[in-house]
């Protein structure tokens, strides 16, 4: 089992050095990002290790991880397509869009395609309510936002991503 301290000791020390010792908990988010870098998700052992490094309860680290759509506790596809389904987006057809998109791709919400390339997830609030249906695509390099989508445009994007 990989230990963050063994693999990223210099980065961990540099991250913790940015915060006063009494505020080590502020390092939780950058350490989650570091832990996720290797496999695209945060392992349970990394969750415990981050809690120990920051002097907080593991439930606190888990609640931070669960709140933000950029952190994951399970493996996923190379690309994570996250459709906003909060109320304003739902009123603009986001739920139907998500359902039809999943049907076209052949997965259920939260699942990954058989080739391991695409995971489709529902998330809350991507701050583009007036441009729904919309989603963000997470890659190892960052995020890209896609607004005013149709199922057809989203499927075309997925096909392009799979070809990369």
Rounded Cα distance, 46 and 38, in Å: 11
What pLDDT score does 152 carry? 97
Residue 55 within a domain: yes
The reported pLDDT for the residue numbered 105 is: 96
Q: Are 83 and 100 in contact (CB under 8 A)?
A: no
> Using one digit for the tens of pLDDT, what is the confidence trace for 85-122?
999 999 999 999 999 999 999 999 999 999 999 999 99
Does 37 share its domain with 97? no
| 110 within domain boundaries | yes
Q: How many whole angstroms separate alpha carbon 104 and alpha carbon 97?
A: 10
> Does one domain contain both 139 and 84?
yes
In this structure, are residues 75 and 114 in contact, taking their beta carbons and an 8 Å threshold?
no
Tens digit of each residue's pLDDT (9 = 90 or more) over 5-23: 888 999 999 999 999 999 9
Judge if 96 and 134 occupy the same domain: yes
CATH number at residue 125: 3.40.30.10
Query: What CA dihedral angle connects 96, 100, 106 and 110, to 10 degrees?
Result: -20
Contact 129, 92 (CB under 8 A): yes
Domain ranges, residue 96: 79-163
Task: Tell me how far apart the alpha carbons of residues 79 and 119 are, in angstroms, rounded to a whole number.
Answer: 6
Asked if residue 43 has pLDDT above 90, the reply is yes
Asked if residue 113 lies in contact with residue 105, where contact means CB atoms within 8 angstroms, the answer is yes
Domain boundary pick from 67, 89, 116: 67
């Amino acid at each position: 089992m990989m230990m963050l301290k063994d693999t990223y000791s210099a980065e961990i020390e540099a991250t913790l050095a940015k915060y006063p010792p009494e505020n080590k908990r502020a390092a939780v988010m950058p350490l989650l990002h570091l832990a996720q870098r290797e496999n695209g998700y945060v392992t349970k052992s990394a969750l415990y290790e981050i809690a120990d490094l920051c002097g907080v309860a593991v439930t606190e680290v888990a609640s931070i991880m669960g709140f933000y759509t950029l952190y994951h506790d399970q493996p996923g596809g190379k690309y994570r397509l996250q459709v906003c389904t909060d109320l304003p987006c739902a009123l603009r057809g986001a739920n139907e869009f998500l359902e039809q998109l999943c049907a076209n791709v052949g997965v259920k919400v939260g699942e990954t395609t058989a080739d391991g390339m695409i995971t489709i997830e529902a998330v809350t609030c991507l701050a583009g309510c007036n441009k729904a249906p919309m989603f963000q695509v997470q890659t190892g390099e960052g995020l890209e936002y896609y607004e005013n989508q149709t199922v057809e445009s989203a499927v075309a994007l997925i096909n392009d991503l799979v070809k990369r």
